[in-house]
């Protein structure tokens, strides 16, 4: 810290009188900082015959300033007390000011403090040079450097009997935070006094810096601790000897052990036979990543991925390591979320009002709440996967993956590895490192085995064992891996008949057939055909920005047809009709030929007097139903658009005339 020392002029008293009378300062009479301060005091109107502090804070304002600077005050007090021991009974007082020059704290004997009060040199007083004239405190604040001001170097006459030595206390970035000052009788002036003040001020500045670093370190430690404790992975900290120093809560949950059973123990106690990887890391500084491990725990082993990273000190020597443990279930849940292994259908998406369908939905809702295996039976296209997704979505496993396996689409020699995974080298072409099967990927979720009746007998035995033991072994492997999955199966075959034929295992059939749900074919669902048609027509029309209605002949044809392809075939028929319709009306000949008959245009198919009462009733019922649905949808869209036809037409991508025409047709034009 630079120190501004006093100039040894032969007659500073004479120099002061000359300046007060003429405003001139002889060259070398006083030091440049003193000369600058004298000129500033003269410019700001400080009375050289005075010197009493003009600004003294109220008690409440002083307490506020002391509180704002409580850290500096608490650090400075011990140093001020030590300084006071050197100057006891010598008439000196030790003073601490804030960065604005207000005295915060002072030490001294009773007589010295009382003498200082005569010029308001006391806590709460402003001691800047523009307030009380040139002094060590104000000049140190102005220059940022330690200085000693003695006798006639003071601008005000009442200070000429004083000598003061002050040094700024510097914080981060060179900012002045406070000033430490020692003041006493002018005849006791000594250059060593300034040196002592400088040493104390620098010590306080150093303590402030250390305190700030400790605060930063404490904050960084709190942040790291928060990260350590909130990580979704398990974290183990070990020393260079492989002894566990600390673990986070996740490790405790994985192993079912409290931290006091793990901390202080060798890593072998925690990782079991996997520890050689960690020992090699500590010996050779070689990290390892994503090694599969069955982590032993009180309630059984947990399938995990483990990674290790060595920690070195400043000399590059191993000081320990960090081991990260990720449960396989957690990793795969994350992968599945971004791989499309989730459901999109709910029970509310199942459309129909027929008794058979409503009963199937009722049983499915009850099944969803439990964990039992479900067997969905029904013809192809009836919506078995829709039911399976809805059951998963409303089950306690809804946050887990939903993985579909079509047992009839996988070659029989690959179905085992597809379902249960395989280890590296299990067969020619096996991927390096092996690969998990669908049962592993579905951990915590649901596996939907579609076309279960087509599964080969040899794999049925493996599936049965997995369902019974809730464990699996990969093809070509020996590790036992937990299989925490719910199984929903679907088939269009009569599995009981397949058991009789010998193509399906009886024991597996009973294992799967805990809750059987039969989904009725579309031809047995009556007016559900019209409900589904309306829904598909509205949905496909919205996708194209159109409002479509069907002529009565279309509805009659739909009800006459037997629908061998069930709901899937109906959807395809509606999609075809929407794409072929050139106007807002779906005509009979827009349907596939097998549904509409000869496909003749309406002129040759128009209704005649001989038309029966039932088709007339069906047509009228369908017409009213369609019109009601269209009115509701169009009214809702108009409400969303604030009744603005132009805005609605732009939103739907159609002409305004189309909107007006539909409004008139539906009786909404008023």
* Distance of alpha carbon 255 from alpha carbon 371, whole angstroms: 25
> What is the band of 610 on the pLDDT scale with cuts at 50, 70, 90?
very low
Alpha helices in 422-502 (DSSP H): 438-441, 457-469, 495-501
- State how many domains the chain has: 4
* Rounded average pLDDT over 417-431: 80
In a shared domain, residues 514 and 528: no
Q: What is the pLDDT of residues 344-400, one digit of tens each?
A: 889 989 999 999 999 999 999 999 999 999 999 999 999 999 999 999 999 999 888
pLDDT at residue 334 in the model? 60
Statement to judge: residues 203 and 92 lie in one domain: yes
Q: Is residue 152 part of a domain?
A: yes
Q: Check residue 602 and give its pLDDT.
A: 44
| CA pseudo-torsion sign 214, 217, 223, 226 | negative
Which backbone phi and psi does 306 adopt, to 5 degrees? -120, 135
Residues in the chain, how many?
Answer: 670
Residues 603 and 649 in one domain: yes
Same-domain pairing of 537 and 476: no
CATH number assigned to the domain comprising residue 433: 3.40.50.300
Q: How far is 180 from 95, CA to CA, in rounded Å?
A: 6
* Parent domain of 121: 12-213
Q: Is residue 2 part of a domain?
A: no
Q: Looking at the structure, do residues 188 and 300 belong to the same domain, yes or no?
A: no
pLDDT tens-digit map of 223-268 = 888 888 888 788 989 999 989 998 888 888 888 888 888 888 888 8
106 near 93, Cβ under 8 Å? yes
Q: Is 216 exposed, middle or buried (0-12, 13-18, 19+ CB in 10 A)?
A: exposed
648-664 burial, b if ≥16 CB within 10 A, otherwise e? Answer: bbeebebeeebbeebbe
Last residue in a domain, options 334, 355, 376? 334
Torsion of CA 183, 187, 193, 198, to 10 degrees: 50
**What percent of the chain clears pLDDT 70, i.e. is strictly above it?**
90
Instruction: Please write the tens of the pLDDT for every residue from 487-511.
Output: 999 999 999 999 999 999 999 999 9
DSSP state of 392: H
pLDDT of residue 500: 93
Q: Are residues 364 and 490 in the same domain?
A: yes
Q: What is the dihedral of CA 441, 446, 447, 451, to 10 degrees?
A: -160
| Residue 449: strand pairing partners | 405, 489
DSSP string, 187-226: GG--HHHHHHHHHHHHHHHHHHHHHHHHHHHHHHHHHHHH
Indicate the pairing of strand 549-550 with strand 515-518.
unpaired
């Amino acid at each position: 810290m630079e120190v501004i020392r006093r100039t040894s002029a032969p007659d500073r008293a004479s120099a002061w009188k000359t300046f007060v009378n003429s405003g001139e300062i002889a060259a070398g009479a006083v030091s440049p900082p003193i000369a600058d301060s004298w000129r500033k005091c003269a410019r700001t109107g400080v009375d050289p015959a005075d010197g009493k502090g003009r600004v003294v804070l109220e008690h409440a304002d002083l307490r506020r300033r002391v509180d704002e600077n409580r850290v500096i005050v608490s650090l400075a007090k011990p140093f001020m007390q030590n300084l006071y021991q050197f100057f006891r009974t010598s008439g000196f007082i030790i003073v601490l000011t804030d960065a604005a020059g207000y005295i915060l704290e002072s030490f001294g004997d009773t007589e010295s403090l009382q003498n200082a009060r005569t010029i308001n040199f006391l806590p709460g007083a402003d001691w800047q040079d523009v307030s009380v004239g040139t002094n060590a405190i104000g000049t140190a604040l102005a220059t940022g450097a330690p200085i000693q001001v003695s006798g006639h170097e003071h601008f005000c006459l009442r200070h000429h009997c004083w000598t003061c030595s002050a040094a700024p206390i510097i914080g981060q970035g060179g900012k002045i935070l406070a000033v430490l000052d020692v003041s006493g009788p002018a005849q006791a002036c000594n250059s060593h006094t300034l040196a002592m003040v400088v040493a104390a001020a620098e010590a306080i500045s150093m303590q402030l810096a250390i305190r700030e670093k400790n605060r930063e370190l404490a904050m960084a430690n709190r942040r790291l601790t928060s990260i350590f404790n909130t990580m979704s992975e398990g974290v183990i900290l070990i020393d260079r000897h492989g002894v566990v120093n600390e673990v986070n809560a996740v490790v405790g949950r994985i192993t079912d052990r409290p931290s006091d059973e793990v901390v202080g123990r060798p890593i072998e106690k925690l990782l079991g036979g996997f520890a050689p990887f960690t020992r090699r890391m500590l010996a050779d500084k070689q990290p390892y990543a994503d090694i599969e491990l069955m982590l032993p725990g009180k309630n059984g082993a947990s399938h995990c991925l483990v990674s290790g990273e060595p920690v070195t000190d400043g000399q590059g020597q191993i000081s320990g390591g960090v081991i990260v443990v990720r449960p396989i279930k957690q990793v795969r849940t994350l992968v599945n979320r971004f791989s499309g292994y989730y459901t999109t259908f709910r029970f509310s998406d199942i459309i129909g009002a027929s008794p058979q369908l409503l009963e199937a939905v009722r049983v499915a809702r009850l099944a969803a709440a439990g964990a039992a295996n479900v067997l969905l039976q029904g013809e192809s296209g009836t919506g078995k996967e829709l039911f399976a997704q809805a059951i998963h979505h409303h089950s306690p496993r809804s946050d887990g993956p939903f993985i579909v396996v079509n047992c009839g689409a996988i070659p029989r020699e690959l179905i085992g590895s597809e379902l249960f995974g395989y280890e590296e080298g299990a067969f020619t072409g096996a991927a390096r490192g092996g690969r998990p099967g669908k049962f592993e990927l579905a951990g915590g979720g649901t596996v939907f085995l579609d076309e279960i009746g087509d599964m080969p007998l040899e794999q049925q035995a493996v599936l049965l064992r997995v369902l019974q033991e809730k464990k699996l072994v990969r093809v070509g492997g020996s590790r036992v891996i937990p299989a925490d999955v719910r199984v929903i199966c679907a088939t269009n075959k009569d599995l009981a008949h397949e058991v009789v034929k010998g193509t399906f295992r009886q024991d597996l059939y009973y294992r799967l057939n805990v809750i059987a749900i039969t989904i009725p074919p579309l031809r047995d669902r009556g007016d559900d055909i019209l409900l589904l048609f309306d829904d598909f027509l509205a949905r496909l029309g919205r996708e194209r920005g159109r409002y479509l209605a069907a002529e009565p002949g279309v509805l009659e044809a739909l009800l006459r047809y037997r629908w061998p392809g069930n709901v899937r075939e109906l959807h395809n028929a509606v999609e075809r009709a929407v794409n072929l319709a050139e106007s807002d009306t779906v005509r009979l000949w827009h349907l596939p030929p097998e549904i509409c008959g000869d496909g003749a245009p309406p002129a040759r198919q128009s209704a005649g007097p001989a038309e029966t009462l039932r088709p007339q009733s069906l047509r009228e019922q369908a017409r009213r139903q369609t019109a009601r649905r269209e009115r509701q949808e169009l009214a809702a869209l108009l409400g969303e658009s604030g009744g603005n036809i132009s805005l609605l037409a732009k939103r739907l991508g159609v002409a305004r005339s189309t909107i007006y025409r539909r409004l008139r047709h539906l009786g909404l034009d008023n």
